[in-house]
């Protein structure tokens, strides 16, 4: 079983739709969680951290469920510019190395 697993998609949604991605992780001792965004042939960029209490940044909401070992990302009122691959990232251990999921591809259609 992979350490971090994501549904690869693709998710094709119309503009304005609400879309949610889940990501599961296997290491119960994992400490920190993030969502990164990667545009085609570009480097990953930090989208948001995921806090235990859940957090919101504009149209984006991230949540963590430690009991079930998953994190989620909700995008409301999706825009064409949201089209990208969304990478779930988990930090475990003291080395602070990030373990990346393989990403979920989102395409927002006009």
Partner 1 sequence: GAGVSQSPSNKVTEKGKDVELRCDPISGHTALYWYRQSLGQGLEFLIYFQGNSAPDKSGLPSDRFSAERTGGSVSTLTIQRTQQEDSAVYLCASSGRGRSSYEQYFGPGTRLTVT
Contact footprint for partner 1 (CB under 8 A) = 32, 34, 42-46, 49, 87, 91, 95-103
Nearer to partner 1, 22 or 49 (CB): 49
Nearer to partner 1, 68 or 97 (CB): 97
Q: How far is the CB of 6 from partner 1 (least distance, A)?
A: 8
**Can you give the length of the chain in residues?**
110
Q: Do 63 and 70 touch, CB atoms closer than 8 A?
A: no
Question: Phi/psi of residue 15, each to 5°?
Answer: -50, 140
Nearer to partner 1, 40 or 110 (CB): 40
Q: Which tokens is 101 given?
A: 């999921």
Q: How far is the CB of 14 from partner 1 (least distance, A)?
A: 25
Nearer to partner 1, 45 or 59 (CB): 45
Q: Which tokens is 56 given?
A: 């919101």
Tally of helices (H runs) and strands (E runs) in the chain: 0, 11
Q: How far is the CB of 95 from partner 1 (least distance, A)?
A: 5
Q: How far is the CB of 1 from partner 1 (least distance, A)?
A: 15
- Measured on CA atoms in the order 56, 35, 24, 109, is the torsion positive or negative? positive
């Amino acid at each position: 079983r992979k350490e971090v697993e994501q549904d690869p998609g693709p998710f094709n949604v119309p503009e304005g739709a609400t879309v949610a991605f889940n990501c599961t992780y296997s290491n119960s001792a994992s400490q920190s969680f993030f969502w990164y965004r990667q545009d085609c042939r570009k480097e990953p960029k930090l989208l948001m951290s995921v806090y235990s209490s859940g957090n919101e940044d504009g149209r984006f909401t991230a949540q963590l469920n430690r009991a079930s070992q998953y994190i989620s990302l909700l995008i409301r009122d999706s825009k064409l510019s949201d089209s990208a691959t969304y990478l779930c990232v988990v930090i475990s251990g003291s080395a602070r190395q990030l373990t990346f999921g393989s990403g979920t591809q989102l395409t927002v259609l006009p």
